[in-house]
Structure 1
Amino acid sequence: MTARACPPGLAKKDPACLPPGQARKVGDIIDLRRVHVVTRPGLYGVRDAPSGQRYAIVNGRLMRVDSETGRILSILRVVEAILD
């Protein structure tokens, strides 16, 4: 979601559009059954994830996560839409 589409109070937050306490950070563990796991990484401009890792869309952000634990390894960028 772009900052322009956010309510005024959330547009200036970092990350934008997420209420305090809902933003995920590197090291957090997510449930891969509750997020969109990317199946076609090329549509997002990234190569296949390294062995044992996957890409996921979490709260409108493209993240690289551990396939087994769901630990967030890196937060790559905001995505406007789910493409796969």
Structure 2
Amino acid sequence: MSKLNDEELLKCIKSCESEFSTLAEIHKLLIQNQILCSIEELRQKIIPLHRDGYLGNEPTGDGVNMYYIIFCPEYTTSSV
């Protein structure tokens, strides 16, 4: 998971079928894309992206946190 940078993670989240995704849905998407990680590793990547304003968080009535993209860079870091 450490090889996955923040921009790639945001692009993976953006490719989710729904606009709002749980941590479990994001984890499932990563596994489907052959990106293996633990739940804790994913949580450690998601929290700073939320804190820095790249992801929004909408808690549901049952306490599940739904994440959504606020900003996703459309460029690769190698082209900058």
**Structure ranking higher in helix proportion:** 2
**TM-score if structure 1 supplies the norm length?**
0.26
Q: Answer 1 or 2: higher relative contact order, Cα 8 Å, separation at least 6.
A: 2
TM-score, scaled to structure 2: 0.27
Q: Which has the higher strand share?
A: 1
Report the structure number with the largest CA radius of gyration.
1
